[in-house]
Amino acid sequence: VDGFRFDLASVLARDEDGVPLENPPILWAIESDPILAGTKIIAEAWDAAGVYQVGSFVGDRWAEWNGQYRDDVRRFIKGDRYTVGPLVQRLMASPDLYPSPKRNPSHSINFITAHDGFTMYDLVAYNRKHNEANGEKNRDGHNDNHSWNHGVEGPSDNPEIEQLRLRQMKNFMTILLISQGTPMINMGDEIMRTQQGNNNAYCQDNELSWFDWTLVERKADLLRFVRKIIGFTQEHELFHDQHFWKPEGKGNGPLVTWHGVHLNKPDWGEDSRSLAFTLRHPQSREHLCVMLNSYWEALDFELMPLPAEERWHCVVNTGAPSPQDFCELEKTTAIDADHFRVEPRAAVVLIAKEAVKRPASNSLFRRIRSVTHLFV
């Protein structure tokens, strides 16, 4: 067993009269139990009676489901107002909730969806819950889901709507997997599993909540994309360093600079729907550029200048048709422009790569070596 997740864990922080305790003994006992020392312990840091402890859950080992991450990323991708500032905190593993040195990025369990609530496909296919099958006249389940159906409630035979929904799911997966923190993916989101708009399917032990294995082939495009981006993040130290991102010139670990469509000028305004950042690791010398556009029109982002021997290369572009939405680094081509166009409602990840030496130099070397052989 790798670990345990405690449902509505904040109920364990109450005394026998239901009053929240500052140092609840049962939670400290779980944390300090020697048998559990090698396991992960994860809290759903709220309960049904109103206690909300995300960012303030007791103990040093407990990781927490970050409900703020879920809501803020959903709102940004949907295109809501007042979303760029909160998104920055979530991308950085929520240092506003988990301040160092007591906490580190791994304490934040980042997620878009879970077993409670909409699946990721339903998040982009339904404006409202459809829980009639639960027998409670659709009164159960949350009403505030930050979802958007993109024009049609439920499945659509309009290919443009379905393609936009697929792009939005790729945007969710991209942001989730490049964010600092511990990512959590709900079973089946990688293959567009649906519960037909039911956001409280705990009582549905049937095809509605089961894993549909036929989707593995039918939705292979998204599965391929998720596999590729997981592999990409596993290969780069930037995504594993347990130092919170810091501004350039401050501290160890990854160094971040925030931008908008113009370099060093992020737009924190209430109507802003775009964000870019460059992320550099001084030890591994990795250098990334991420551009996020939740606006309904394409935007041109200025690119950070690189040293003469380096060029930007595009690895992820959710605005490109499949399979060009992900490109293996060794197959990418250098970007020679000083800007990059990001399509409407799309995410792009670039990586700096040393420029390939000119073939002419190699040819000249081969010619010189051949001439040398002639005179030996």
End-to-end CA distance of the chain: 68
Rounded to 10°, the helix 159-178/67-78 angle is: 140
* CA dist 107 → 41, 42, 186, 343 (Å): 10, 9, 18, 33
Measured CA to CA, the distance from residue 18 to residue 116 in angstroms comes to 24
Give SS3 for 203. Answer: helix
- My answer on whether omega of the bond before 321 falls inside 30° of 0, hence cis, is no
- Name the active-site residue from 2, 7, 71, 136: 7
Catalytic residue among 44, 47, 286, 325: 44
Helix (H, G, I), strand (E, B) or coil at 204: coil
Residue with token string 């240092």? 95
- Show the DSSP H helices in the chain as ranges: 25-32, 67-78, 84-91, 120-123, 159-178, 215-218, 220-234, 359-374
C-alpha 306/C-alpha 281 separation (Å) is: 14
Cα torsion through 310, 312, 313, 317, rounded to 10: 170
Q: Is 7 a catalytic residue?
A: yes
160 is catalytic: no
The region that residue 249 occupies, defined by phi over 0 for left and psi between -120 and 50 for alpha, beta otherwise, is: left
Distance (Å, whole) CA 326 – CA 346: 13
Distance of CA 345 to the CA centre of its chain: 15
φ, ψ (nearest 5 deg) of residue 324 = -70, -5
**DSSP string covering 4-31, please?**
EEETTGGGGGB-TTSPBPSS-HHHHHHH
Residues involved in catalysis: 7, 44
